[in-house]
């Protein structure tokens, strides 16, 4: 059995692994902590960002890096927030359920590079309130509005 870091071709692991097999929900309520990011090697994680104070439209966005090894990750964003997510997943699936947009990408789409998801206002040139930078080796990433 190889360690997950040995399978990581994405650069997700920089030595700052916060948990092994968390199988937990993390609720982010502080911008500084959220911007420090979240790094998990193996397990299922729900990252709840719905209580995070977001800036007013047009201000600098909150930037949340998320680094993953293997497992299922659900990132919950506040209902109505303007969001951009840049996802690089070496093997697995990505689901985007934010606003009126439902999108799905398999590993065949994702491992060739980053995939960017945006709410309609951000896609039309608006400034996001929340920017997710998600990098992972293997698993499922779901970004959903809550």
Residue 109 belongs to domain spanning: 4-145
pLDDT of residue 103: 75
pLDDT band of 58, cuts 50, 70, 90: confident
- Please indicate, yes or no, whether the overall pTM of this predicted structure exceeds 0.75: yes
pLDDT band of 107, cuts 50, 70, 90: low
| 3-class DSSP assignment, residue 109 | helix
| 3-class DSSP assignment, residue 30 | coil
* C-alpha–C-alpha distance, residues 135 and 22, integer Å: 17
| 3-class DSSP assignment, residue 122 | helix
Q: Please list the alpha-helical segments (H only) found in the chain.
A: 4-7, 31-36, 107-110, 120-123
pLDDT of residue 15: 45
45-49, 55-59, 112-116 — which one is most confidently predicted on average? 45-49
* Number of domains making up the chain: 1
């Amino acid at each position: 059995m190889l360690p997950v870091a040995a399978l990581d071709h994405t650069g997700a692991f920089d030595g700052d692994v916060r948990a092994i097999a968390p199988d937990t929900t993390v609720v982010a309520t502080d911008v500084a902590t959220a911007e420090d990011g979240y790094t998990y090697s193996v397990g299922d994680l729900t990252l709840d960002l719905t209580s995070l104070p977001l800036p007013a439209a047009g201000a600098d966005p909150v930037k949340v890096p998320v680094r993953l090894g293997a497992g299922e990750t659900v990132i919950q964003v506040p209902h109505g927030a303007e969001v951009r997510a840049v996802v690089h997943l070496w093997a697995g699936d990505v689901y985007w359920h934010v606003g009126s947009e439902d999108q799905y990408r398999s590993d065949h789409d994702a491992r060739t590079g980053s995939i960017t998801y945006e709410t309609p206002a951000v896609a039309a040139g608006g400034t996001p309130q929340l920017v997710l930078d998600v990098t992972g080796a293997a698993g499922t990433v779901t970004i959903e509005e809550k």
